[in-house]
């Protein structure tokens, strides 16, 4: 099977700081891949390079065989890459419904209120927010704002959905529902998530990429990562 997305010798420097330092990476279609590592490991910078929020210093990003290294973020969205931010970026003055309607409109070729409504409610229902459709986003709890961001990403019908700390602020019950949702999403799309909740990572991910100091320290199944001595020293510690 051909990877959906690959990076080759990908680098991002900020002055003398090598935030991403020569990363070779590949993710397969339908995979749930977790990226973990200590704070400052380069995880968010790495996914920001993939979605086009920041330009690379050097290296290459290939999506489904096409070089997208120089494409702006909005063109990557059109090609199927959706990204939810580590810090919530919903439109707080708009309702949950209207927040999701904005990305749904990008997927519609013509004006159809019926298709728009169906697309919005489908995304809200999948994330458990249908009963909060009319609630102003700013009035939602932080955890529900996180889920609203996921709904906005789903509304784009992505091929690759990148989630940055998606379970932050969620209750235990909401985390369980999120994991079920992620497995459902992976039937139609590929999921790449940055996550600090190791229980979520170990239960949800097909494979795990561990970053440290801008480089990939290790990759493997949850069992392989849990047993990796280097990963234990650099990140997992007593959690391994």
Question: The domain containing residue 117 runs over which residues?
Answer: 89-157
**Helical axes 142-155 vs 172-185, angle rounded to 10°:** 10
The count of structural domains within the chain is 2
DSSP type of residue 110: S
Q: Are residues 99 and 152 in the same domain?
A: yes
Q: Write out the chain's pLDDT in tens, 240 residues.
A: 899 999 999 999 999 999 999 999 999 999 999 999 988 899 999 999 999 999 999 999 999 999 999 999 999 999 999 988 654 578 999 999 999 999 898 887 766 788 899 999 999 999 999 999 999 999 998 888 888 998 999 999 999 999 988 888 888 988 998 899 899 999 989 999 999 999 999 999 999 999 999 999 999 999 999 999 988 887 765 443
- Among 50, 44, 45, 48, smallest CA distance to 25 is for 50
Q: Is the dihedral of CA 131, 78, 14, 67 positive or negative?
A: positive
Residue 186 pLDDT: 92
Cβ neighbours, 10 Å, residue 35: 26
Name the 3-class secondary structure at 86: coil
Global pTM value: 0.87
Show which of 157, 178, 206 is a domain's final residue.
157
pLDDT at 85: 62
Contact present, 21 and 42 (Cβ < 8 Å)? yes
Say if residues 153 and 83 touch (Cβ distance below 8 Å): yes
Q: Are residues 177 and 116 in the same domain?
A: no
Spatial CB neighbours of 233, under 8 Å, sequence gap ≥ 6: none
Q: Exposed, middle or buried, 111 (CB in 10 Å: 0-12/13-18/19+)?
A: exposed
> Is 95 in the same domain as 19?
no
* Domain CATH code at residue 37: 3.40.50.300
φ and ψ at residue 84, rounded to 5 degrees: -105, 140
Q: Is 131 exposed, middle or buried (0-12, 13-18, 19+ CB in 10 A)?
A: exposed
Are residue 162 and residue 136 in the same domain, yes or no? no
Q: For residues 213 and 231, state if they share a domain.
A: yes
Element (H, E) at 79: none
| Other C-beta atoms lying within 10 Å of the C-beta of residue 143 | 17
**Cα–Cα distance measured from residue 222 to residue 212, given in angstroms and rounded to the nearest whole number:** 17
157, 179, 199 — which closes off a domain? 157
């Amino acid at each position: 099977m051909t990877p959906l997305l690959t990076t080759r010798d990908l680098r991002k420097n900020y002055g003398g700081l090598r935030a991403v330092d020569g990363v070779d990476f590949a993710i397969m279609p339908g995979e749930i891949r977790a990226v973990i590592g200590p704070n400052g490991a380069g995880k968010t910078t790495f996914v920001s390079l993939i979605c086009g929020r920041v330009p690379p210093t050097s290296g290459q990003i290939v999506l489904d065989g096409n070089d997208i290294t120089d494409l702006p973020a909005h063109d990557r969205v059109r090609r199927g890459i959706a990204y939810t931010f580590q810090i919530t970026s919903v439109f707080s003055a708009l309702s949950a419904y209207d927040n999701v309607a904005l990305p749904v409109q990008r997927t519609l070729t013509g004006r159809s209120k019926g298709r728009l409504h169906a697309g919005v409610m489908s995304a809200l229902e999948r994330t458990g927010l249908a009963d909060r459709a009319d609630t102003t986003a700013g009035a939602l709890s932080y955890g529900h704002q996180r889920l609203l961001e996921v709904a906005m990403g789903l509304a784009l019908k992505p091929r690759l959905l990148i989630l940055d700390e998606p379970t932050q602020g969620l209750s235990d019950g909401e985390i369980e529902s999120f994991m079920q949702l992620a497995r459902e999403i992976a039937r139609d799309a590929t999921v790449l998530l940055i996550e600090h909740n190791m229980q979520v990572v170990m239960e949800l991910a097909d494979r795990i990429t561990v970053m440290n100091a801008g480089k990939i320290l290790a990759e493997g199944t949850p069992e392989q990562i849990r047993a990796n001595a280097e990963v234990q020293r650099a990140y997992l510690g007593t959690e391994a």
